[in-house]
Structure 1
Amino acid sequence: MTTTIDTRAAGLSAPTAASPYRLNFVRLVRSEALKLFTLRSTWWSLGVTVLLATGISLLVAAVTTSLPEEIRAQMTVNPMSAVVSPLQFTMLVAGILGAMAITGEYSTGMIRSTLTAEPRRGAVLLAKALIVSATLIVTTLVTSLISILVVTPIFGSDGFAWDDAELTWIPLVWAIISMATFALLGLGCGFLIRNGAGAIAATVGILFVLPIVMSLFSFGGESWQWLIDLYNYLPSSAASGLTTNPTNETVRNVIVLLAWPAASLLGGWAVLRVRDA
């Protein structure tokens, strides 16, 4: 009996070989990509984004080219305006996808495994932000190319061409950046609230509900002008300004567009550091 106990004790005290694997930042980013793309909700969201954006672009192109000549002369009608027009709708899908990218881990408890494998919580947030933003950038770029193929024949029969000197690609660049910032805004709300329904509600409220509410005060007269002015400092308003008229208040719109996701991610990082998973 004594010999058996000593043998077990010796076995327990024997040194174990160190694992050759280390979780560096590249592997952390890869693990976050695997977690995001193995969710069916991710592919549903991306599919809805592609179909919604392409369909709206097609409708806008068809409607604008069917308008009378005197009305179209007063409008900015070109292929680019049709391609970026779905932004006000697809931004909701981007924000919801960003929120679900983290709240799902809190609902299943996977966040504990994530933080155990990588105790540096800021690195976890940064890795998720990189994957989510890259996903929306690629998706928006692919969607825009599809929309271009769809609307070009419609506008081409009416004298529009993509090599027109008056046509600028700047709105498309801002549309791609805007979709990434909307997703990061949702991701930050997810880290802050840690609940899927709450994070989605907060994201939709900021991107969609607040602009509608503030626009209602335009009937209130000068006494509510301060609230109407705040409308220009909403992320959706900044994105709209950059994609429809990039030369007007560009600096302000860029700051507003980047400040919202930055604030939500910083708040999420602060909460992640001080609260248990």
Structure 2
Amino acid sequence: MNDLNPDNNGLTPMPEHQTARHAARPAEPSITQSDVQHAASSAMQPTSPSVVTDAAQAVPSVGDVPMPDVPQPRLHQPQAPTPVASQTAVSSSATSPQSAAPQTGQPYVQSPQDPAFRNQPAQPFQWPQPRPSEEPSQPAYLQSQQPFQSKPPFAEQPGTQPNPSLRPQQPQSQQFQSQQPQSRSTQQSTPQPQQPAPQQHPQPRPRALSRTRLTFFGAMRGELVKALSLTSTYVLLIINALLMPAGTAITAWAIVALHTHDSTGSTIDAGPLAGSLLWQSVGASVSLCMIVAGIFGVMAVTSEYATSSIQSSLTANPRRVMFLNAKAMVTMLLAFASSLAGLLMSWGVAAMAFAGPGIRPLGDDEGALPVVALLGGAAVLALTAVMALGFGALFRSTVGGVLTVIGLLTIIPSILSMATLAGERMAWVRSVVACMPGNAASQFMSGPSDGLAASAADGVFTPNWWQSGLILLAWAVVVYAAGVLVARRADVK
């Protein structure tokens, strides 16, 4: 058997027991060196436009961004096993490139197996430069991106016809501009009427620094807005205004009843009543309304601590002294206005009650009674509200502040008055009771009808009406100053 063994590259004879199996195999075509050269030269030929068009349709487009070409690798066909005799012919033909080229009619291409090809340095890849007339237009949104420049995915090879399908589509706005060049030129050539220049209004000047910085009147305006936004403000002020005419009506009815009836209850004609009785009945309920004014003053500051709005208030106005001064001023004005309205209504009620028996004119030393009853009573209630605000700043609690005000006006004077029953050893307690805020307000509302001099009989100091007013003012100033000092130094909880 002269058959060659294909499992051993065709170099050794095939055994006899494999002859039948090898005879059944189909004959394998032999590949010569000319076939390899023909395949290599075909791979280097330029691609026809129809093939490029089909390839462009098969590749999905990614917007209008051009993609670079990917160089095609060189094809290397594996060589089939050839006999020893043919290998010599192949090697001799590979070493003579000029003789191999005329056999196929194609230009010679170096094979990777040539020693000269292996020792040759690698050449950098260069993009094919298209002609200037066929330069593809860059999209409008990429014209500003100058650093990013790349070639289209399927560049037209030199020597081929330009393919319009490979060019990126222009946006509709550019197509519309290119389709109407004449209309645009016509519009540019047509003279347009000159539009009048728009009037430039002067820029507003920046606000002065004095208007933007924090002022005391601005703080007062803010505190007034906060006070009027609370329901308790309206409730307490209305109670204060209505309580005084109600007390005046009861007092005036009692005075008229005692003056026009005897002890048996029969009616007598005692003549007109004194004018001082009318004004004393007008201010009779001021001592009772001091509790209402005190509750209003306490809640003016403790309501912010209860609702934690004191934090935002001090953030808007970090000057705590100014903050409390503005709040005290607003509280005093509201209490004064409410009290003055109540006293005016009390005056009307007392005048109607005293209209039956008549009223005698005031004496020479009683001329200040109307001023003390109207304006003095309103001032007493305003100072009481400021004093109560100081207690609220001290305790920061509505319950603690209200109990302190009630105890100072009613409970403590009652306890001290019982101590005077112990004899003359406790006579000095009478002076302390006379200087308490409630008793000082009552003595002030009595007016100058009781004399202008203070009495000091039996070593007991009893202030007159104007001294009682100064004592009440001192109470308000001291308590309020203590509250401001604590609020300025203490942390906000």
Asked whether the two chains share a fold, i.e. TM above 0.5, the reply is yes
Of 240, 258, 261, which residue of structure 1 is paired with 2:476?
A: 261
1:80 equivalent to 2:279? Answer yes
Task: Note the alpha carbon deviations across 1:74-130, whole angstroms, 9 max, x for none.
Answer: 998621111100012100000110000000000111111111111111101110111
Q: Which residue of 1 aligns with 2:350?
A: 151
Stretch of structure 1 that moved more, 41-50 or 244-253 = 244-253
Of 379, 386, 391, which residue of structure 2 is paired with 1:184?
A: 386
Of 385, 393, 400, which residue of structure 2 is paired with 1:198?
A: 400
Q: Which residue of 2 aligns with 1:131?
A: 330
Task: Note the alpha carbon deviations across 1:52-86, whole angstroms, 9 max, x for none.
Answer: 11111001111110114579999986211111000
1:42 equivalent to 2:243? Answer no
Q: Secondary structure at the match of 1:78?
A: helix
Q: Secondary structure at the match of 1:276?
A: coil
Q: Which residue of 2 aligns with 1:65?
A: 256
Whole-angstrom CA distance in 2 between matches of 1:48 and 1:237: 22
Q: CA deviation at 1:207?
A: 1.4
Q: Secondary structure at the match of 1:67?
A: helix
Q: Which residue of 1 aligns with 2:194?
A: none
Q: Which residue of 1 aligns with 2:213?
A: 22
Task: Note the alpha carbon deviations across 1:1-51, whole angstroms, 9 max, x for none.
Answer: xxxxxxxxxxxxxxxx99984332211101111111111111111111122
Of 89, 98, 109, which residue of structure 1 is paired with 2:288?
A: 89
The sequence identity of aligned pairs, in percent, is 28
> What amino acid does structure 2 have at the position aligned with 1:169?
P
1:60, 1:82 within 8 Å by CA — same for their partners in 2? yes
Q: Which residue of 2 aligns with 1:142?
A: 341
> What amino acid does structure 2 have at the position aligned with 1:28?
A
Q: Which residue of 2 aligns with 1:171?
A: 372
Stretch of structure 1 that moved more, 70-79 or 210-219 = 70-79
Q: Secondary structure at the match of 1:160?
A: coil
Stretch of structure 1 that moved more, 182-191 or 213-222 = 213-222
1:239 equivalent to 2:441? Answer yes
1:64, 1:77 within 8 Å by CA — same for their partners in 2? no
Task: Note the alpha carbon deviations across 1:228-266, whole angstroms, 9 max, x for none.
Answer: 220111111111111114335245313211111111111
2:275, 2:359 within 8 Å by CA — same for their partners in 1? no
For structure 2, which runs of at least 5 residues remain unmatched after alignment?
1-205, 264-269, 454-463
Q: CA deviation at 1:175?
A: 1.3
> What amino acid does structure 1 have at the position aligned with 2:484?
W
Q: Secondary structure at the match of 2:491?
A: coil
Q: CA deviation at 1:226?
A: 1.8
1:191, 1:271 within 8 Å by CA — same for their partners in 2? yes
Task: Note the alpha carbon deviations across 1:112-168, whole angstroms, 9 max, x for none.
Answer: 11111111111011101111111111111111111111121111221116x645553
1:216 equivalent to 2:418? Answer yes
2:278, 2:354 within 8 Å by CA — same for their partners in 1? yes
Q: Given the superposition, is the C-alpha separation of residues 142 and 68 from structure 1 closer, same or farther in structure 2, using an over 3 Å criterion? A: closer
Whole-angstrom CA distance in 2 between matches of 1:183 and 1:253: 17
Q: Given the superposition, is the C-alpha separation of residues 251 and 148 from structure 1 closer, same or farther in structure 2, using an over 3 Å criterion? A: closer
Stretch of structure 1 that moved more, 205-214 or 191-200 = 205-214
> What amino acid does structure 2 have at the position aligned with 1:53?
M
Whole-angstrom CA distance in 1 between matches of 2:323 and 2:393: 11
1:23, 1:117 within 8 Å by CA — same for their partners in 2? no
1:96, 1:186 within 8 Å by CA — same for their partners in 2? yes
Of 296, 319, 328, which residue of structure 2 is paired with 1:120?
A: 319
Q: Given the superposition, is the C-alpha separation of residues 164 and 228 from structure 1 closer, same or farther in structure 2, using an over 3 Å criterion? A: closer
Taking only aligned residues, the RMSD between alpha carbons, in angstroms, comes to 2.5
Q: Secondary structure at the match of 1:257?
A: helix
Q: For CA contacts below 8 A with separation 6 or more, give which structure has more relative contact order.
A: 1
For structure 1, which runs of at least 5 residues remain unmatched after alignment?
1-16
Q: Which residue of 2 aligns with 1:107?
A: 306
Whole-angstrom CA distance in 1 between matches of 2:259 and 2:248: 19
Q: Secondary structure at the match of 1:66?
A: helix
Q: Secondary structure at the match of 1:266?
A: helix
**TM-score when scaled to structure 1?**
0.86
